[in-house]
C-alpha cells in the first residue's frame, strides 16, 4: 500500500507527534510500506524527518521525494547538497511548464496512492484542493488537524 501527503508550507513542527503516530498506524495496521512526499515547505520537511526516524524501526518501508521539476543546481547551488538519491520524477511532468508542475505532480500523487495524510487548516489553497481531490477519488484521507 502507498501513502502520500498534503499540507501547508508553513505547518508547525508541533504536528510531529501526531504525524509519527499516524505513520506508525499506517505501517503496522494498514500495510503501508511506500510513502511519496513532496519537497516544498515545512510540512514536507516534517514528513521526511518522521519517515527517516521510522525507517530505523521499520527497515522494510520505502519513501521517495517526488519532484515537481528537476533541481537546477546552477541557479541554486544549495540544491546540490540535498539528497535526491531516493527521488522520483514522474514522466508525465517532463513537458509541463514549471508554473504548473507542482499541480501536475500532486495529481500524480493522488492517482498513485491508497492513503493521503493531510494537515489542512484552511478551505482554500493547494493543500485543500488536493485533499478534496483525494476524497473525490475515493482515497482514504487522514487529517492531522482533527
Domain ranges of the chain: 2-143
Q: What is the pLDDT along the chain (146 residues), one digit of tens a residue?
A: 999 999 988 888 899 999 999 999 999 999 999 999 998 889 999 999 999 999 999 999 999 999 988 766 555 545 544 555 588 888 888 888 889 989 999 999 999 999 999 999 888 888 999 999 999 999 999 999 87
What is the Cα–Cα distance from 51 to 33, expressed in whole angstroms?
Answer: 11
- Identify the burial level of 116 via C-beta atoms within 10 angstroms of its C-beta, where 0-12 means exposed, 13-18 middle and 19 or more buried: buried
**What pLDDT score does 76 carry?**
55
Quote the pTM value.
0.89
Looking at domain 2-143, its CATH class is alpha beta
Q: Which residues contact 88 (CB under 8 A, 6 or more apart)?
A: 36, 64, 65, 66, 67
**What pLDDT score does 9 carry?**
84
**What pLDDT score does 6 carry?**
96
Residue with grid cell 510540512, as numbered in its chain: 43
**What pLDDT score does 81 carry?**
44
What is the Cα–Cα distance from 19 to 13, expressed in whole angstroms?
Answer: 10
Per the CB < 8 A criterion, the answer to whether 139 and 112 are in contact is no
Amino acid at each position: 500500500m502507498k501513502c502520500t501527503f498534503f499540507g501547508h508550507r508553513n505547518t508547525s513542527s508541533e504536528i510531529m507527534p501526531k504525524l509519527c503516530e499516524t505513520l506508525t498506524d499506517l505501517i503496522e495496521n494498514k500495510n503501508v510500506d511506500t510513502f511519496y512526499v513532496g519537497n516544498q515547505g515545512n510540512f514536507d520537511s516534517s514528513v521526511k524527518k518522521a519517515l527517516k526516524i521510522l525507517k530505523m524501526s521499520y527497515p522494510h518501508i520505502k519513501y521517495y521525494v517526488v519532484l515537481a521539476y528537476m533541481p537546477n543546481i546552477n541557479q541554486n547551488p544549495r540544491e546540490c547538497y540535498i539528497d535526491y538519491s531516493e527521488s522520483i520524477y514522474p514522466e508525465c511532468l517532463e513537458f509541463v511548464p514549471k508554473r504548473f508542475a507542482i499541480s501536475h505532480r500532486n495529481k500524480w500523487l493522488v492517482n498513485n496512492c491508497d492513503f493521503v495524510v493531510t494537515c489542512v487548516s484552511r478551505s482554500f489553497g493547494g493543500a485543500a484542493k488536493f485533499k478534496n481531490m483525494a476524497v473525490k477519488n475515493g482515497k482514504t484521507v487522514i487529517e492531522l488537524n482533527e
